[in-house]
Copies of this chain bind each other. A is one copy, B any other.
């Protein structure tokens, strides 16, 4: 399912893929409408706006209004996709998302871009390191975190078909394409083993999946076989693959561009504690705020890039 050569794979921004897929969906389905809150040029919903101006609504800098307008549109049979930065979609509009969209089980797709640390230079106020926790706790909401452009397209298309609220967490930078387009298929609610291994299980979601894969390659040269699992569906989550892997390796390391509290690491700990208690270490933002910097600098500073993953594995595993 993976591309042949990870080191040399092309890069594509998930937000660009998102914008393009929206346009394609717009062609296919008259009911697709798109909303933004004065960030259309950043989130790439501007592509849809250009192609289908009458089905695009820029609600200005008003995120509660954004969410509730989408809710209203959904009641008339439209399929609203909305975007803005993740911190605003989930933070400023949490209550409309919860009480209006999810409680009413409305067919709204919340697809913010610029989640996590890789938003970069804008700094802490704009870096959502909490949105997985914020969305995972809402009943009725499906939470998806695509790892690359291929998965992004599949996720957006899947969300368009699924009836009900879906959250898709996207990021700003160009991300290496890890999935082979021709062989890739989205498996709803499943985790996928992207690379088999026996010594430790690395679980990533979104951007960190690539870093986990690279770390695994480097570890392999040191005689450590890390199994790498991709977790695109944070909720609902069928932990089958995780449990099988943990049974084999006995150690799980989670990696996320998110607070280590309540996010992917939290979901993994909850699943394992219930079904197969296993030692887990969580890489991610260690409960502090983000800061300005390039995506790369921040992934290093906050210890979630491939080097940090490699180091964490080496520190954890018994000496060879």
Interface residues of A (CB under 8 A from B): 87-88, 90-92, 94-95, 98-99, 103, 124-125, 130, 133-134, 136-140, 235, 252, 259-263, 265-270, 272-274, 277-282, 287-289
CA distance A262 to B136 in the complex (A): 8
Given contacts A137-B262, A273-B278, A277-B277, contact A98 B91 (CB under 8 A): yes
Q: Is the CB of B278 within 8 A of A270?
A: no
Cβ-closest 7 pairs across A and B:
A91-B95, A277-B277, A273-B280, A269-B273, A133-B137, A269-B269, A262-B262
- Closest chain B residue to A64 by CB distance? B92
A139 in contact with B92 given A133-B133, A266-B270 (CB within 8 Å) = no
Copies of this protein, total: 2
Contact A137 B277 (CB under 8 A): no
Complex CA–CA separation, A94 to B87 (angstroms): 10
Q: Are A289 and B140 in contact (CB under 8 A)?
A: yes
A267's nearest neighbour on chain B, judged by CB, is B261
B287 pairs with A279, CB closer than 8 A: no
Question: Is A125 in contact with B137, judged by CB distance below 8 angstroms?
Answer: no
A95 touching B98 by the CB < 8 A rule?
no
Chain B residue with Cβ nearest A259: B137
Query: Contacts A266-B262, A278-B273; is A130 near B125 (CB within 8 Å)?
Result: no
A91-B95, A92-B94 are known contacts; what are 11 more A-B pairs with Cβ within 8 Å? A87-B99, A88-B95, A98-B130, A103-B124, A133-B137, A137-B259, A139-B259, A139-B287, A270-B280, A272-B273, A273-B273
Provided the pairs A261-B270, A278-B277 are in contact, do residues A95 and B87 lie with their beta carbons within 8 angstroms? Answer: yes
Hey, which chain B residues are within 8 Å of A280, CB to CB? 270, 273-274, 277
- Indicate which residue in B98, B266, B273, B282 contacts A277 across the interface (CB closer than 8 Å): B273
- Indicate if the CB atoms of B282 and A270 lie closer than 8 Å: yes
The CB with the most chain B CB atoms within 10 A, among A88, A99, A273, is that of A273
The closest CB in chain B to the CB of A261 belongs to B137
Instruction: Tell me the bound Cα distance from A281 to B98 in angstroms.
Output: 26
Per the bound structure, the CA–CA distance linking A139 and B130 in Å amounts to: 10
CB distance from A286 to the nearest CB of B (A): 9
